[in-house]
Structure 1
Amino acid sequence: MFDGFEEFDIDTPGATIHERRGGSGPPVLLLHGIPETHLMWHQVAPRLAEHYTVVATDLRGWGDSGKPPSSLDHEPYSMRAIARDQVAVMRSLGHERFGLVGHDRGARCAYRLALDEPDVVTRLAVMDVVPIGDVYDRANRTFSLSYWVWSFLAAPAPVPEQFIDAAPAVLVDFMLDTWPEVQDAFPAEVRTA
């Protein structure tokens, strides 16, 4: 897995970020979704590395990246803070401008990064992310079944951490088993917007 890639950590002002890098050519940053890590790109990254310098990171709080303490307003885990980590990583590797690909939670980070640092992003691709405005406009029972995890994860520490630590497989299995059917309950125009 990730043949020809190097694995290392980079210290940013906000957290230590774990990553893999491989290939050569224009730089592309890959951001994972929930409940994944950079390993989700193990089949995509080597193919992209045939033409690009590929960087795949674990977002702050996930995988082998740092997990700094949060605050009452959760700012240390905001998409803005996580995006700053990613810009710092790419700059430390000598990439002032780069392509950006985000999946799910990584897509939210990619949006924020592109909004905050438009001169840094050369191309942007976001995948498997539901437009929040449409979701809130159509909130119903399906919404509560699908998005409970975001309220749960936003609870004050150590509540989510202790629940997850007690039964991580139960949480991940429930999320992965129920999300496809919940996503199918949204109209096609919301899923593909």
Structure 2
Amino acid sequence: FKSPIITPAIKSLAGHDEDISEYDLIHQNHIPKQDWDIIRSLALNLFDFGQKMAQDRGLILVDTKYEFGYYNDSIILIDEIHTPDSSRYFYESDYQEAFSAQRDPNQLSKEFVREWLILQGFTGKDGQKVPEMDDKIVHQISERYIELYEKITGKRFIKGDSNNINSRVENNILAYLDNRKA
């Protein structure tokens, strides 16, 4: 595509976000047009940045999701960006060959987790129990996330201490707040 396709969505009262047209987003008073124009511009700029960052690292940022909200009447970006939970990446080296062979290109995203869940009979319907993940699938998930981390950051992943997680989170937040005061 010459220009990315933007598909607005709104939070559902239950379940997944609901896609909505730009027209309905504005005309059903979910958001003022001028705010939508700002969000649209921010999303396009973020996507452009993400694509360039990915390309520099041998990846293609295929699609992603950005979440925006309001804080003190200002539009803010919330949640994660360009992670495997919110984005799909293809390997640049494999893409053309896969496309020519009409097969799915190798990707770094949570899609393989979704595919595994479907193979287990899980479809995400209300009341359906999520299948238990054994050590093998957890390891595969970790490996893919670590691979993307290392590709995107250019840094080696160093596993953190998983003991006293609550204490570690609290200490990191307090250190951040102390640095903001300085």
| TM-score of the two chains, using structure 2 as the length reference | 0.28
Structure ID, larger Rg: 2
Greater relative contact order (CA < 8 Å, ≥ 6 in sequence): 1
| TM-score of the two chains, using structure 1 as the length reference | 0.27
